[in-house]
Amino acid sequence: MKKIVFLTGAGMSAESGISTFRDSGGLWEQYPVEKVASIEGYWEDRQLVLQFYNERRNQLPSVQPNKGHVLVAQMEKNYDVTVVTQNVDNLHERAGSTHIVHLHGELMKATSERNPNDPNCIITLKEGEEIHLGDKAKDGSQLRPFIVWFGESVPEIETAVYEVMKADILVIIGTSLNVYPAAGLVNYANENTPIYVIDPKPVQIHSNRNITFIQKGASEGMEILSAKLMMND
Protein backbone atom coordinates (compact mmCIF):
# COMPACT_ATOMS: atom_id res chain seq x y z
CA MET A 1 0.00 0.00 0.00
CA LYS A 2 1.19 3.50 -0.80
CA LYS A 3 1.72 5.75 2.19
CA ILE A 4 -0.15 9.08 2.37
CA VAL A 5 0.73 11.61 5.04
CA PHE A 6 -1.76 14.40 5.72
CA LEU A 7 -0.48 17.56 7.39
CA THR A 8 -3.54 19.42 8.68
CA GLY A 9 -4.03 22.81 10.29
CA ALA A 10 -6.81 25.06 11.53
CA GLY A 11 -8.50 25.25 8.12
CA MET A 12 -9.21 21.52 8.38
CA SER A 13 -11.59 22.10 11.30
CA ALA A 14 -12.91 25.54 10.32
CA GLU A 15 -15.83 24.03 8.36
CA SER A 16 -16.87 22.21 11.54
CA GLY A 17 -17.33 25.54 13.29
CA ILE A 18 -14.10 25.64 15.29
CA SER A 19 -12.96 29.24 14.96
CA THR A 20 -9.37 29.72 13.87
CA PHE A 21 -6.94 32.03 15.57
CA ARG A 22 -5.79 33.86 12.49
CA ASP A 23 -8.90 34.78 10.55
CA SER A 24 -10.92 37.94 11.09
CA GLY A 25 -13.22 37.34 14.04
CA GLY A 26 -10.99 34.47 15.16
CA LEU A 27 -9.75 33.73 18.62
CA TRP A 28 -6.67 35.95 18.44
CA GLU A 29 -8.95 39.01 18.40
CA GLN A 30 -10.62 37.95 21.65
CA TYR A 31 -7.53 36.60 23.39
CA PRO A 32 -4.00 37.83 22.61
CA VAL A 33 -1.82 34.87 21.68
CA GLU A 34 0.78 35.72 24.29
CA LYS A 35 -1.87 35.53 27.02
CA VAL A 36 -3.39 32.11 26.26
CA ALA A 37 -0.99 30.24 23.98
CA SER A 38 2.44 30.86 25.43
CA ILE A 39 4.18 29.34 28.43
CA GLU A 40 4.83 32.89 29.70
CA GLY A 41 1.09 33.64 29.54
CA TYR A 42 0.38 30.51 31.55
CA TRP A 43 2.73 31.48 34.37
CA GLU A 44 1.41 35.04 34.33
CA ASP A 45 -2.27 34.09 34.71
CA ARG A 46 -2.94 30.40 35.13
CA GLN A 47 -6.62 31.00 35.89
CA LEU A 48 -7.21 32.77 32.55
CA VAL A 49 -5.40 30.08 30.58
CA LEU A 50 -7.18 27.19 32.31
CA GLN A 51 -10.54 28.85 31.69
CA PHE A 52 -9.71 29.53 28.03
CA TYR A 53 -9.01 25.83 27.40
CA ASN A 54 -12.00 24.75 29.49
CA GLU A 55 -14.15 26.82 27.12
CA ARG A 56 -12.49 25.31 24.05
CA ARG A 57 -12.96 21.81 25.48
CA ASN A 58 -16.61 22.42 26.32
CA GLN A 59 -17.19 23.50 22.71
CA LEU A 60 -15.97 20.21 21.25
CA PRO A 61 -19.12 18.06 21.75
CA SER A 62 -21.17 20.65 19.85
CA VAL A 63 -19.04 20.39 16.69
CA GLN A 64 -18.83 17.44 14.33
CA PRO A 65 -16.21 16.18 11.88
CA ASN A 66 -16.80 17.62 8.42
CA LYS A 67 -16.69 15.77 5.12
CA GLY A 68 -13.00 16.58 4.81
CA HIS A 69 -12.22 14.71 8.03
CA VAL A 70 -14.37 11.78 6.88
CA LEU A 71 -12.70 11.57 3.48
CA VAL A 72 -9.24 11.60 5.10
CA ALA A 73 -10.32 8.71 7.33
CA GLN A 74 -11.77 6.80 4.36
CA MET A 75 -8.37 6.92 2.64
CA GLU A 76 -7.33 4.15 5.04
CA LYS A 77 -9.28 1.70 2.86
CA ASN A 78 -6.72 2.05 0.08
CA TYR A 79 -3.63 3.64 1.62
CA ASP A 80 -1.35 3.49 4.63
CA VAL A 81 -2.45 6.81 6.17
CA THR A 82 -0.83 8.97 8.82
CA VAL A 83 -2.39 12.26 9.89
CA VAL A 84 0.04 14.82 11.32
CA THR A 85 -2.12 17.58 12.73
CA GLN A 86 -1.45 20.96 14.27
CA ASN A 87 -5.01 20.91 15.62
CA VAL A 88 -5.72 20.07 19.25
CA ASP A 89 -9.33 18.98 18.63
CA ASN A 90 -10.37 15.33 18.31
CA LEU A 91 -12.25 15.57 15.00
CA HIS A 92 -9.85 13.34 13.07
CA GLU A 93 -10.33 10.62 15.69
CA ARG A 94 -14.09 11.03 15.66
CA ALA A 95 -14.13 10.78 11.84
CA GLY A 96 -12.37 7.42 12.05
CA SER A 97 -8.68 8.12 11.41
CA THR A 98 -6.56 5.66 13.38
CA HIS A 99 -2.96 6.91 13.10
CA ILE A 100 -2.72 10.52 14.24
CA VAL A 101 0.30 12.53 15.39
CA HIS A 102 -0.79 15.58 17.39
CA LEU A 103 2.03 18.11 17.05
CA HIS A 104 0.54 20.71 19.37
CA GLY A 105 -1.08 18.47 21.98
CA GLU A 106 -4.66 17.39 22.64
CA LEU A 107 -7.48 19.42 24.11
CA MET A 108 -9.05 16.38 25.80
CA LYS A 109 -5.91 15.63 27.79
CA ALA A 110 -4.26 17.21 30.83
CA THR A 111 -0.79 16.90 32.25
CA SER A 112 1.66 18.14 34.86
CA GLU A 113 2.85 21.73 34.73
CA ARG A 114 6.21 20.53 36.07
CA ASN A 115 6.72 17.65 33.63
CA PRO A 116 4.26 18.15 30.76
CA ASN A 117 5.70 15.38 28.60
CA ASP A 118 5.91 12.73 31.31
CA PRO A 119 3.57 9.98 30.04
CA ASN A 120 2.80 8.98 33.65
CA CYS A 121 1.24 12.42 34.21
CA ILE A 122 -0.87 12.65 31.05
CA ILE A 123 -4.56 11.89 31.60
CA THR A 124 -7.60 11.87 29.31
CA LEU A 125 -10.44 14.10 30.45
CA LYS A 126 -14.09 13.11 30.26
CA GLU A 127 -16.56 15.14 28.22
CA GLY A 128 -17.47 18.23 30.23
CA GLU A 129 -14.56 17.82 32.64
CA GLU A 130 -12.66 21.01 33.43
CA ILE A 131 -9.25 21.81 34.91
CA HIS A 132 -9.26 24.14 37.91
CA LEU A 133 -6.57 25.71 40.04
CA GLY A 134 -5.72 23.19 42.74
CA ASP A 135 -6.28 20.11 40.55
CA LYS A 136 -3.16 17.98 40.87
CA ALA A 137 -1.23 15.81 38.45
CA LYS A 138 0.29 12.49 39.57
CA ASP A 139 3.55 14.23 40.49
CA GLY A 140 1.73 16.63 42.80
CA SER A 141 2.04 19.70 40.59
CA GLN A 142 -0.85 21.70 39.10
CA LEU A 143 -2.71 20.02 36.24
CA ARG A 144 -2.50 22.00 32.99
CA PRO A 145 -3.79 21.47 29.46
CA PHE A 146 -1.78 18.98 27.40
CA ILE A 147 -1.06 21.67 24.82
CA VAL A 148 2.25 22.69 23.26
CA TRP A 149 2.43 26.45 23.72
CA PHE A 150 4.71 28.99 22.06
CA GLY A 151 7.99 28.89 23.93
CA GLU A 152 7.83 25.11 24.45
CA SER A 153 9.48 22.29 22.53
CA VAL A 154 7.42 20.12 20.16
CA PRO A 155 8.17 16.55 21.26
CA GLU A 156 6.26 14.88 18.41
CA ILE A 157 8.18 16.68 15.65
CA GLU A 158 10.66 13.82 15.25
CA THR A 159 7.82 11.35 14.76
CA ALA A 160 6.27 13.68 12.19
CA VAL A 161 9.57 14.03 10.31
CA TYR A 162 9.93 10.25 10.20
CA GLU A 163 6.41 9.85 8.78
CA VAL A 164 6.87 12.56 6.13
CA MET A 165 10.18 11.02 5.01
CA LYS A 166 8.35 7.73 4.31
CA ALA A 167 5.43 9.36 2.45
CA ASP A 168 4.64 8.38 -1.14
CA ILE A 169 2.15 11.29 -1.23
CA LEU A 170 2.05 14.35 1.04
CA VAL A 171 -1.19 16.30 1.43
CA ILE A 172 -1.29 19.66 3.25
CA ILE A 173 -4.75 20.87 4.30
CA GLY A 174 -5.76 24.14 5.90
CA THR A 175 -2.44 25.43 7.14
CA SER A 176 -0.58 28.56 6.13
CA LEU A 177 2.75 26.87 6.93
CA ASN A 178 3.79 29.89 8.97
CA VAL A 179 4.36 28.18 12.32
CA TYR A 180 7.57 26.26 12.86
CA PRO A 181 8.64 23.54 13.27
CA ALA A 182 5.51 22.20 11.49
CA ALA A 183 6.11 24.50 8.51
CA GLY A 184 9.46 22.85 7.86
CA LEU A 185 8.02 19.35 7.51
CA VAL A 186 7.44 19.74 3.78
CA ASN A 187 11.23 19.87 3.32
CA TYR A 188 11.59 16.30 4.60
CA ALA A 189 9.46 14.78 1.84
CA ASN A 190 11.35 12.82 -0.78
CA GLU A 191 12.09 15.04 -3.78
CA ASN A 192 9.98 12.76 -5.98
CA THR A 193 6.99 12.73 -3.62
CA PRO A 194 3.98 14.56 -5.07
CA ILE A 195 2.64 17.24 -2.73
CA TYR A 196 -0.96 18.48 -2.74
CA VAL A 197 -1.95 21.69 -0.95
CA ILE A 198 -5.66 22.15 -0.16
CA ASP A 199 -6.56 25.65 1.03
CA PRO A 200 -9.01 28.31 -0.19
CA LYS A 201 -6.32 30.96 0.27
CA PRO A 202 -2.97 31.11 -1.54
CA VAL A 203 -0.25 29.27 0.38
CA GLN A 204 3.36 30.31 -0.14
CA ILE A 205 5.74 27.36 -0.34
CA HIS A 206 9.29 28.24 -1.31
CA SER A 207 10.19 25.03 -3.06
CA ASN A 208 10.82 23.71 -6.55
CA ARG A 209 9.08 20.45 -5.72
CA ASN A 210 6.14 18.87 -7.53
CA ILE A 211 3.28 20.75 -5.83
CA THR A 212 -0.38 20.76 -6.90
CA PHE A 213 -2.53 23.51 -5.39
CA ILE A 214 -6.24 22.86 -4.88
CA GLN A 215 -7.68 26.24 -3.88
CA LYS A 216 -10.75 24.93 -2.05
CA GLY A 217 -11.90 24.32 1.50
CA ALA A 218 -11.11 21.04 3.25
CA SER A 219 -14.26 19.12 2.22
CA GLU A 220 -14.41 20.20 -1.41
CA GLY A 221 -10.65 19.93 -1.74
CA MET A 222 -10.64 16.37 -0.40
CA GLU A 223 -13.37 15.40 -2.86
CA ILE A 224 -11.22 16.72 -5.72
CA LEU A 225 -8.10 15.02 -4.38
CA SER A 226 -9.87 11.68 -3.88
CA ALA A 227 -11.03 11.74 -7.49
CA LYS A 228 -7.52 12.63 -8.72
CA LEU A 229 -5.89 9.81 -6.77
CA MET A 230 -8.47 7.27 -7.98
CA MET A 231 -7.68 8.26 -11.56
CA ASN A 232 -3.93 7.94 -10.97
CA ASP A 233 -4.09 4.50 -9.32
What CATH number should be reported for the domain holding residue 23? 3.30.1600.10
Which positions are catalytic? 104
Among residues 88, 120, 147, the one where a domain terminates is 147
Running along the chain, 233 residues long, what does each successive block of 10 average in pLDDT? 95 83 53 86 95 90 94 96 96 97 96 96 95 97 96 93 96 83 86 93 77 94 93 74
> Rounded to an integer, what distance in angstroms lies between the CA atom of residue 178 and that of residue 86?
12
104 and 87 in contact (C-beta within 8 Å)?
A: yes
User: What phi-psi label fits residue 197: left (phi over 0), alpha (psi between -120 and 50 degrees) or beta?
Assistant: beta
Q: Same structural domain for residues 131 and 229?
A: no
Note the pLDDT of residue 67: 97
Q: Which domain holds residue 33?
A: 19-62+109-147
DSSP state letter for 201: S
pLDDT of residue 13: 92
What confidence score (pLDDT) does residue 227 get?
93
Residues 134, 205 within the same domain: no
Claim to verify: residue 125 and residue 233 sit in the same structural domain: no
159 and 224 in a single domain? The answer is: yes
pLDDT in the model for residue 189: 92
Question: What's the confidence (pLDDT) of residue 18?
Answer: 77
Q: Kindly report the backbone phi and psi dihedral angles of residue 190, in degrees, each rounded to the nearest multiple of 5, phi listed first.
A: -55, 145
Instruction: Check whether residue 77 and residue 53 sit in a common domain.
Output: no
The verdict on 24 and 7 lying in the same domain is no
CATH at 201: 3.40.50.1220
37, 49 contact by CB (below 8 A): no
